[in-house]
Structure 1
């Protein structure tokens, strides 16, 4: 239905004299990278200098190009202008129409609030720091505008990993191109509100960078066009620490070392390691979303659970295991689980005609899932283990870790049973 609506909307603008084209393809070869590569070969793109990219749920403002293109026009060394993702309305936008606000869903459930905290830290701190210090930072895959000559010089889109955006950004950076992040330009979009969709997204976001790191490490080291400092920054700071070590340290410390210190009294964790440093890091990460500061403890518990999933995905990418190139489109619910948008009479007729036309690709048949398919047994197992460690610490009057272990164990169990996010019957 979405495809037909997009095509109808493009046709409406074309009838009003706007130069607009609707393009699609009849296969999924190369996934998003393949679609982008094919899209760049269309005649309508030839002769263009820049290309703006948005995922289907993103809603750029009408002045997006007016605010981004000048950076590229007046700075020939800049290849990419990255805008900020936005998930909640700001005070001066409360009067906007319901249609424009449909995809902004940070307040939909607790899981979307937690996602907002993590992504706000990424944009407000990580991307802002990378841009302001002229250091490397990755392309977020959407809500950005590229210089086409930079894409061509870097070798175009490649489907060797599931992070084609990061792949292109690294290759362009190694050829001397610069990027800029503009946090004042915000693009509304929707967060995944089902745990299944979020889990698939995080697998791709963790597995892809680890796999790209394995494939590009030697290419980065051998590159003669960039300084040793930049090589060190990309390999060590961006890839190794940011995409692999961060997940590993979080999971090992919170879910392995602390429980082991309860079972083995000889393992002693200094107070600065168990209290001061984690607290400071947590407060700094929560700085990007002060309105959700009261959710800080829940955010930590949820992120600890997800670190287990992310480290598995990172290992999959490093070892190039079976799911290394798994690409599952992140499901966004929009208003599908609430109310269906009303259509004008002529649009409704066009939509019925489009639905009667045989699609290029047959939709896969949906099988009714068993009730246990929503369970995540690895998370359940870890939850039971942490609860047992908590009871052991309490019974033996240990170091008082039982409070944390009970909370973290419950978090694993709640997520393991699928009681997080929006539940859609039959999914």
Structure 2
């Protein structure tokens, strides 16, 4: 006990010190978001070159029917829109319909439905929906695979291998429960066209079911902080922030240069974003563009989502930690290394063994991981600090402590 107690005390104080550092980080990000973006109104349009596409009307629509404007269609780059889905019986019509309604010259856009559904009835329904839109002269492709290798990452990678996809300069990605507005491409593509160093334009999510129950309201608060503070400040300071996996537009050349989609973790979006950042590509977050989406409204769906996000981030850290440290860009430009290290997710264990990722330096990771090995009493006391409190409450929530506030779950 005499040998262990000093080590435990040191670990607790180290965790508290790191908590103070993360509190300072949160305060700095909030200050940047409030002053630079809200008060000074330094919107992305003022910081980056943005001009409407040739042939676009003032109202935000493309004049694709007027013959004189058709000459300007060459100014519209080829865009691929991917919709990966898996047994999405409830929302497939909404997502496909919203994407097919995007305002863009019909000969300059290709819509790709990547259906990994295992239910033959749902697959037939999705295929019929695609055929119906194809009959309306929409260039939509229905793609299926013989297996689900790599899951979403595998589907996206396979979709990019088609000949028609390789002709596209940009690719927009929407999950099956996302519904973009018709002017989405007209607002996002100009950032990529006029700023060749930008690899990704990430937009904000708009939750249509946030008021369904207490669980969805808590999720909305957490994700609003993620978008309004973390991603907005990261974009303004040219620091790293991850791709959210949907509601974003990628430059195809950036994807190819970064090694393409990889299925080594369940967070293929963060994996690609980290590799693109190490290749010196820049990311842009545009909070004024919002895409409708749905939050998990059942306890089971929420647990599955959080498990996939956090465990995938931990695996990504194990696979890419050394690559970040030894990257040539990081060695030549130390400030870039700090940005990447500071925004890689790590795993800490709280309460009943639930693991969650959190931003921090490599030193922080070791301290936090050491703190997670403490006995439960020490872990709970440490969790009362500013840094641990949100994750402590989150673990209670996932373990069922909040279930009394939620409606009964279906069996």
- TM norm. shorter chain > 0.5: yes
DSSP 3-state at the match of 1:180? strand
Q: What is the rounded CA distance, in whole Å, between the counterparts of 1:236 and 1:195 in structure 2?
A: 31
- 3-state SS of paired residue (2:141): coil
Q: Could you say if the C-alpha distance between residues 148 and 69 of structure 1 is closer, same or farther in structure 2, counting changes exceeding 3 Å? A: same
Structure 1 equivalent of residue 342 of structure 2: 236
| 1:111 lines up with 2:228 in the alignment | no
Change in CA separation of 1:39 and 1:129 when aligned onto 2, cut-off 3 Å: same
Two-structure CA RMSD over aligned residues (Å): 3.1
1:238 partner SS: coil
Q: Which runs of 5+ in 2 are unaligned?
A: 1-88, 90-121, 347-357
> Partners of 2:235 and 2:280 in 1: how far apart?
15
CA drift at 1:15 = 1.0
Matched, 1:425 2:410: yes
Quote the Cα distance in structure 2 between the aligned partners of 1:28 and 1:247.
36
Please state how far the C-alpha of 1:216 moved relative to its aligned partner. Answer: 0.5
Q: Which residue of 1 aligns with 2:70?
A: none
Partner residue in 2 for 1:364: none
| Structure ranking higher on relative contact order (CA contacts 8 Å, 6+ apart) | 1
Higher mean displacement: 229-238 or 204-213: 229-238
Structure 1 residues 421 and 69: alpha-carbon distance in aligned structure 2, compared to 1, 3 A threshold: farther
SS of equivalent residue, structure 2 residue 321:
helix
Give 4+ residue runs of structure 1 displaced > 4 Å after superposition. Answer: 243-253, 257-260, 418-422
CA distance, structure 2, for counterparts of residue 252 and residue 190 of structure 1 = 36
Using the size of structure 2 for normalisation, the TM-score is 0.60
Q: By how many angstroms is 1:72 displaced? A: 0.6
1:190 has 2:302 as partner: no
Q: Comparing both structures, which one devotes a greater share of its residues to strand?
A: 2
User: Once the two structures are superposed, what CA deviation does each residue of 1:29-73 show, in whole Å capped at 9, x if it has no partner?
Assistant: 011111111011122212100110011100111111111111111
Q: How does 1:3-402 map to 2 (within 5 A)?
A: 3-87=123-207, 104-226=208-330, 227-240=333-346, 241-242=358-359, 256-257=377-378, 278=386, 303-307=391-395, 379=399
Distance in 1 (alpha carbons) for counterparts of 2:170 and 2:128:
25
Q: Measure, in 2, the Cα distance between the counterparts of 1:107 and 1:248.
A: 35
| Equivalent pairs, count | 274
CA drift at 1:14: 1.4
SS in 1 for 2:342: helix
> Normalising to structure 1: TM-score of the pair?
0.58
Q: In structure 1, list runs of 5 or more residues that go unmatched.
A: 88-103, 261-268, 283-299, 310-375, 380-411
Contact 2:345 2:359 survives alignment (8 Å): yes
Cα offsets for 1:317-360 (capped at 9, x unmatched): xxxxxxxxxxxxxxxxxxxxxxxxxxxxxxxxxxxxxxxxxxxx
Cα distance, 1:247 vs structure 2? 8.4
